[in-house]
Structure 1
Amino acid sequence: MGWFTKADRSPAADPRHCVVSVLSASGLDVVGAGVLLTRDHLLTCAHVVNDALGRGVFDPRCPDDHNVPVALHRAALTVRSDARVAHWVPARRRNGTPEIPRAEDHEWLGDLAVLRLETEPSDNVLPPQWLTMSVGQALRAWHGTGLSHTFADVRVKSCDEAVGYIDGESTGMAIGPSYSGSPLWSIGDNAVVGIVAGLVTPPHDPITGRPLPYSSQHIARRSWGIPWQRIEAELRAAGGAELFEAPEPDPDDPAYELLLDLLDRHMPASGQRIEYARAVAEHCGYGVHDNLSAPTTEEFAALLLTEPRALAALSEVLRRREPTAVSQLLAAGRMSRVPRLLSPREHRRLMRYLDDLPKTVRARLPEVARAALPLAATVSGSHTVRDLLDHLESLPGDSRSDDGLRVPGLLRVMEYLAVIAPSALRASLRLWTVSVVDRMGVPATSLMERRTDAEEWARAQRERTGPARVSAQVERVGADRYRLRVWCDEGTGPRQTSGDGEAVRTGAEAARELLKVLEALHRSAPDRDRPVLEVLVDRDGLNLPIDEWGELDGGAYDGFGPDDLPQVLGAEFPLVVTCPELLHRHERFHPDWRHRWRLLDSDTTLTFDDPTQGRSEVYGALLADKDSVRVAVDVPPRSRDEIVQTCLMMGVPVVIWDRGRQARSHALARLSTVPVGALPEGVRAYRAMSLGDPRHYSGRPVLAWSDADRSVPRLHLAEPQENA
């Protein structure tokens, strides 16, 4: 492929930017370094990966089911990504014995890991050039953070085919912990010649393990690295030859002759081939020879059948000028296994949108794929988002269109994903699918069919999987005395179940009746989530401890003996409160309420934790931010109730607070990370934990939930003076 050249090896303007930080599983600490090997693969030591995952340093097992968080550094920003092991060469002893190396071993072989980035870097992220390590080279290494002041200057003192020993200068930084995996940058060659692997430390006291007093006979600032020549040999032996050389086209590929004919037909002039070939090379990260000659059609066709995204990139360039050529080229490409559906630009945009999705939505991608493509083979075993997308790109489409142009399977999945995404990302994903089908020439009507299918699926999912709901109107008529009216809603609307709404009950008696209804509803549909108890109260009942109603001693219910289990309402079933009095007090905020409810999946949270804030400050903050769907109120009781009631009057659908008296609520801190859709269950679980461990789970959370999609039962509200 003489006219096209691989542009993924470049001298770095700032070699420090070659350093990739390998992070701990939590993503908070740097455990070592790495360096880009290709545009989407990085190289590090296997023991660095083990350290990141909290495993033994020389654990030989391939961690192919684990994500390794990494950070790529650029001049103006740092980009985080997850990575997965693509090639694994565990450390082994030099003497050929099968034992795992020990800490006292000074040298070992292997100890290499190639990680594949889950998010493909942008076009301007280029790996460095690599050269052979040799004695006398002046090198530079960096700490895993990649910070500019952490560079350590060293020189190669000895080097064989397996190990290169490097000594540090007497001034400046010395190579130490978290330098493992760092590129060894040859200052004179402007290239990487290996990676840091280990240190040779001064002797330690055999009893205490502490360093012995310094002696001029001790080794100082000696480290060792893995030379490039061994890296390449080990990775080739491990099946990684594709990391070093561009693949050759299959001479028997059925698409080759067709593409030759189409390129000759649509690009007969050399000027046209130069223009289109340069554009494709730029999109795919290739360079071209700096001359005015055009690539031959054989060279161009070879690129289209070796670089997976080149054909899609060419169709992007041609779609406005030669639309008929696009459909013919893509049809020819479908006869080969090499071309991928998306161009590099389309793939990067899609990965960016998926990264921006809430984790709870992104985690549903396998479920969405099964729903969108029920007859397609699924990816077996554990897989990442990128693995699943790679699989989906290879699937054909399906459509009821008669013109033969079908919506690709990946685009159908993205339409299904869009209907459960937050509104802003839903629009972005849909615009993305429209642009891809436009490039491919797929009729827009076919895509609209799939969009309709997705909306019907989402509607059916909500109706089928949403938990049943029990609504209970609770009116206080004295000290621990209440009137109770109960409705059930299995998805078809509320129906009243309680007979006598005028009977007065204690809290325990009310809990007993509610638990009977909830348990019966749960037994009738065991495949659904536990029913949610929605308690309808007036503004004075927002802090009633209804979730604590029940019996803890187990012996008070229905005459059962002491072996019976306790029953506590809010610990057994999700319980939320709703205040129709406040919700409907100012109906001018109902449009805001419905708007916020539609954005529920965005989980946008507003927190009020300043006790000096009052109704005016809260009013202004909610008017300024009409997209917040969830408000947390973490202030003392004297100002808490005013803030809570203001939020409910202004149509905030989800409000959470602690009815206890502590200044900073443990419950709100713990529940702040729970996605809004899982909050009723998260609050229930917290209440259950507070029964078993009240010292550590000291909060008393209250969750107000105003569902704009459900009808509220017709209430019999008492006049205020009746409760006086």
Structure 2
Amino acid sequence: MGAYDGRICYLDGQLSGAAVDEGYSGGPLWSVTDRAAVGLVVGRITAPDGAFSAQHTLRRSWGLGWQSVLRELARVGAAPEHVNGGRERSAATLAEAESVRDMMVGPLHSLLGDPRARADHATVLAAQLTLRAPGDGSAPTVEELAHLLSGTERALPTLAESLAPKVADDPRGRAELDRLLALGRLTEAARLLSVAEHRALVVKLEHLTEHDPGLLPRAATAALPYVDLPRSLQGARLAPSAVPAVVHELEGWYGDGSPVPDESPRLPALLRVVEYVAAETSGDLARQALREWSARVAARLGVHPSALQERRGDADRWSRRSAPAGVRVLVELDRYAKDPADHYRCSVWRLRPDGTPARAASESDRPRTGREIARLIREVAWGAEGAGDGVALVAVSVPPDALELALDEWDGAGAEEYISARLGEDFHLVLRCPKIRRRSRTGPADLKRRWNSRHQSDTLLADHRIGGRAGLIGLLKTTHRDTARVLVHGSTEHRGELLPVCLVMGVPVVLWDRAAPGPNDCAPLDALAPHGPVDGLPERVRHFRVRAYADRVVPARPALVWEDIELPLPDELQLADPSEGTERTG
């Protein structure tokens, strides 16, 4: 062997026998001296053309040492048991563990020098770890406690959990606890979370993952953009059963690399992921529970509050994201009395980048099927300038009796296409109903006021407890005068009573499940975070539709009214003067 840098080894072969050649890559690297395979062959360094000089090498090859191979196996969770912390440990590893254990004695003496305090904390620790404690209340020695902390999984953070309140107002005690936790990072057993912290987090994440399998991978990717995530987090979905293993791996990454004040501990990567999960979680209670958990763990670790708040702010800004602005398409559907069932007449406009409209298609001359209309919308959206810059917004104006129409499921894929192309999967497909909206003298002013307050106002839940049509009108006139978002739950009859009220009174964002048979069938919509950042709602609805179409277990079919005041309605569009010709403008 010529040289080994801990990762790659360079090999200078003898001028006898066969040299490394094409096809040897991946083969075992055999050591004659050790009579064992010590790595893998990777390649050879080809001799230059022309005459040799004194600086040239003969038969130089390169490979990976066994240490590099084992590191890569461990990174993907495929290393042999003894490499992942099993019973076989080298003498050097054992000596290092013993040194760490000896170094723990000092801070333990400072924190638990009083035998009575040590006995109390040891009793609590034993109960958490399901270990037997002496019945006479005697205290273990500091050395015995150090041995337990360095060799028992989660023992150190569990003890720190009970010690943290004691040293909250004691800078010297806090420094000793930080020193103890730092030593724990050098052991294989300590982990980041206490027994109780770990149990609570796993339960919360399993519940959230069951309702939204993409939540944890989505949040981890955003929270740790420069980290090689575990394989289980690299996909789009995560099963609840995989949560414990994911948490276990994320615990191993202690710092997020961002600056912290006063040389305080860095925020662990796991807590950053939890903050991003909380920001994306639907439901105020679930979000609050995660943030309180994160704050408790951060305080126990000695993380400065400002560091946690900064990462929480990052997570909130990420959650308020929306898809990049794409093409905007306006569609108007209408029906004549003699038209066949499930057929509509369709006109389509495309908005130019400067906001001016261009008539893209007018198909009102004859009624068309949903598939035909979907193909027409796709052609307009994909053919527009900037079609690849983001997800296109398709705003469809429908007649009053078509608010429950399943147009998001209209499939515009051609016969030769391999993948379906439902409108709700490929576009931000939203509804509008100008014929209802205009049945109010104050409608335009109401719409503008509510739209401009959409980031400050709370979501109004309109279910069977709201008092029907009269109750909803009363709320929208008084305590919810500026409310911009209404979530409607209930049967088809109940929705048919409340939806017109929302539209007439200028509510710009209305969300409901058109497949819900009754008032108690609202839980499936929780996965799209209906109370989350409002500007990201069309994108969350699109994600939900993609999952729902692929998973027959998800019965919900969300419908979204989205009245952006910057988008003109069809009869407000400034079209070309007919006297200038019959050509369509574009």
Q: Same fold (TM over 0.5)?
A: yes
Q: Is 1:441 the equivalent of 2:302? A: yes
| Amino acid across the alignment from 1:439 | R
The alignment status of 1:578 with 2:432, answered yes or no, reads: yes
TM-score between the two structures when normalised by the length of structure 1: 0.48
Aligned to 2:117: 272
| Residue type at the aligned position of 2:181 | L
* Equivalent-residue separation in structure 2 for 1:548 and 1:405 (angstroms): 51
**2:398–2:433 CA contact under 8 A, matched in 1:** yes
CA distance in 1, matches of 2:296, 2:566: 42
**Residues 711 and 493 from structure 1, CA distance in 2 versus in 1: closer, same or farther, beyond 3 angstroms?**
farther
Aligned with 2:126 (options 260, 275, 281): 281
1:14-33: per-residue Cα shift (whole Å, max 9, x none)?
xxxxxxxxxxxxxxxxxxxx
Shift of 1:371: 2.7
For the residues of structure 2 that align with 1:576 and 1:413, how far apart are their CA atoms? Answer: 31
Contact 2:400 2:436 (C-alpha < 8 Å) held by counterparts:
yes
User: How far has the Cα of 1:514 moved from its partner?
Assistant: 3.4
1:653 aligns with 2:510: yes
- 1:342 and 1:251 map into 2 onto residues whose CA distance is 25
Match for 1:307 among 145, 152, 156? 152
Question: Aligned with 1:335: secondary structure?
Answer: coil
Instruction: Provide the C-alpha distance between the structure 1 equivalents of 2:546 and 2:114, rounded to a whole number of angstroms.
Output: 71
The 5 Å alignment of 1:601-612 reads: none
Output aligned runs, 1:499-514, within 5 Å.
505-508=365-368, 511=373, 514=377
Distance 2:557 2:254 in 1: 50
Give the 3 Å change call, closer, same or farther, for CA 467–340 of structure 1 in structure 2: farther
| 1:392 alignment partner AA | L
Verify the 8 A CA contact 1:361 1:421 in the aligned structure 2. no
Are residue 471 (structure 1) and residue 330 (structure 2) matched? Answer: yes
| CA deviation vs aligned residue, 1:321-371 (integer Å, no higher than 9, x gap) | 232332121122122221111112222222232234263544331342233
Aligned residue number for residue 407 of structure 1: 267
Checking the alignment, whether the CA contact within 8 Å between 1:487 and 1:494 is kept in structure 2 is: no
Whole-Å separation in 2 of the counterparts to 1:366 and 1:679: 18
How far has the Cα of 1:471 moved from its partner? 2.6
Structure 1 counterpart SS, 2:151? coil
Q: What is the alpha-carbon distance in structure 1 between the residues aligned to residue 111 and residue 313 of structure 2? A: 37
The TM-score, its normalising length taken from structure 2, stands at 0.58
- The alpha-carbon deviation at position 290 of structure 1 amounts to 1.0
Residues 681 and 633 (structure 1), Cα distance of their counterparts in 2 relative to 1, 3 Å cut = farther
Structure 1 residues 707 and 551 mapped into 2: Cα distance closer, same or farther (>3 Å)? closer
SS of alignment partner, residue 419 of structure 1: helix
Distance 1:276 1:548 in 2: 60
CA distance in 2, matches of 1:400, 1:470: 45
CA contact (8 A) 2:488 2:495 kept: no
Which residue of 419, 426, 430 maps to 2:279?
419
- 1:456 Cα deviation after fit: 3.8
Higher relative contact order (CA 8 A, sep 6+): 2
In 2, Cα distance between equivalents of 1:330 and 1:434: 17
Structure-1 separation of matches of 2:348 and 2:196: 59
CA 1:366–1:624: 2 relative to 1, 3 Å? same
The residue number in structure 2 matching 1:290 is: 135
**Partner of 1:261 in structure 2?**
106
Q: State how far apart, in whole Å, the 2-side matches of 1:685 and 1:289 are.
A: 54
Superposed counterparts of 1:648-687, under 5 Å:
648-649=503-504, 651=507, 653-657=510-514, 676=528
Partner of 1:144: none
The amino acid across from 1:654 in the alignment is L
- Supply the AA of the counterpart residue of 1:428: A
Residue-pair matches, total: 433
Fraction of identical pairs, as percent:
25
Q: Distance in 2 between matches of 1:711 and 1:292?
A: 71
The residue aligned with 2:381 is: 518
Does 2:251 correspond to 1:393?
yes
Q: 1:409 to 1:500 in 2, by over 3 A?
A: closer
- Could you list the runs of 5+ residues in structure 1 that have no partner in the other structure? 1-236, 244-248, 555-562, 659-663, 690-698, 719-724
1:368 to 176, 200, 219: 219
Report if the CA contact (8 A) 1:407-1:442 is conserved. yes
Deviation string, structure 1 residues 167-188 (Cα, Å, up to 9, x no partner): xxxxxxxxxxxxxxxxxxxxxx
Contact 1:312 1:339 in 2 (8 A): yes
Residues 438-464 of structure 1 show CA distances to partners (whole Å, capped at 9, x for unaligned) of 11111112222322332343345x234
3-state SS of 1:470 partner: strand
Change (3 A) 1:371 1:486: same
Deviations 1:577-607 (A, max 9, x none): 222565685749949995899779xxx9958
- Is the CA contact 1:488–1:497 (under 8 Å) kept in the aligned structure 2? yes
Deviation at 1:703, TM superposition (A): 6.2
Cα displacement (A) at 1:521: 4.9
Work out the CA distance in 2 between the residues paired with 1:552 and 1:485: 18
- 1:393 to partner: Cα distance: 0.5
Partner secondary structure for residue 399 of structure 1? coil
Q: 3-state SS of the aligned residue for 1:534?
A: strand
Q: Structure 1 residues 437 and 539 mapped into 2: Cα distance closer, same or farther (>3 Å)?
A: same
Q: Determine the C-alpha separation between the residues in 2 that align with 1:599 and 1:448.
A: 25
Q: Which runs of 5+ in 2 are unaligned?
A: 1-80, 88-92, 168-173, 529-538, 573-586
Partner of 2:68: none
1:75-474 equivalences under 5 Å are 252-253=96-97, 254-322=99-167, 323-357=174-208, 359=210, 361-380=212-231, 384-397=242-255, 398-401=257-260, 403=263, 405-424=265-284, 425-460=286-321, 462-464=322-324, 469-474=328-333
| Matches of 2:122 and 2:425, distance apart in 1 | 66
Deviation digits for residues 464-502 of structure 1 (CA, Å, limit 9, x no counterpart) = 4x875523245668866968462449xx8965232799x
SS at match of 2:229: coil
- Say which SS state the counterpart of residue 312 (structure 1) adopts: helix
Shift of 1:390: 0.1
Give how far 1:656 is off: 4.5
User: CA-to-partner distance for each residue in 1:689-711, whole Å, 9 max, x for gaps?
Assistant: 9xxxxxxxxx9x99641247x54
Q: Mean alpha-carbon deviation: is it higher for 430-439 or for 621-630? A: 621-630
Q: Is the 8 A contact 2:488 2:510 kept in 1?
A: yes
Larger fraction in helix: 2
Amino acid at match of 2:101: Y
Preserved contact between residue 361 and residue 420 of structure 1 (Cα < 8 Å):
no
Partner Cα separation in structure 1 for residue 550 and residue 307 of structure 2: 50
Instruction: For 1:578, give the aligned amino acid.
Output: R
RMSD: 5.5
Counterpart in the other structure of 1:713: 567
Matched-pair contact (CA < 8 Å) for 2:209–2:216: no
Contact 1:534 1:578 (8 Å CA) reproduced = yes
Using the alignment, how far apart are the partners of 1:564 and 1:298 within structure 2? 70
AA aligned to 1:470 is V
Change (3 A) 1:716 1:447: same
Q: CA deviation at 1:633?
A: 3.5
Q: How does 1:680-695 map to 2 (within 5 A)?
A: none
Match of 2:394 among 533, 546, 560: 533
> How far apart, CA to CA, are the structure 2 residues paired with 1:284 and 1:364?
31
The alpha-carbon distance between structure 1 residues 484 and 456, as it changes in their structure 2 partners (threshold 3 A), is same
Letter in 2 for 1:427: Q
> Measured at CA, do residues 250 and 445 of structure 1 come closer, stay the same or move farther in structure 2, by a change above 3 Å?
same
Q: What secondary structure does 2:331 align onto? A: strand
Report if the CA contact (8 A) 1:597-1:653 is conserved.
no
Does the C-alpha gap of structure 1 residues 282 and 579 become closer, same or farther in structure 2, counting only changes over 3 Å? same
Q: Assess if the C-alpha contact under 8 Å between 1:633 and 1:643 holds in 2.
A: no
Shift of 1:684: 9.3
Aligned residue number for residue 349 of structure 2: 486
Q: Deviations over 1:23-75 (max 9, x none)?
A: xxxxxxxxxxxxxxxxxxxxxxxxxxxxxxxxxxxxxxxxxxxxxxxxxxxxx
Asked if 1 retains the 8 angstrom alpha-carbon contact of 2:381 and 2:387, the reply is no
Structure 2 CA distance for aligned equivalents of residues 321 and 553 of structure 1:
69
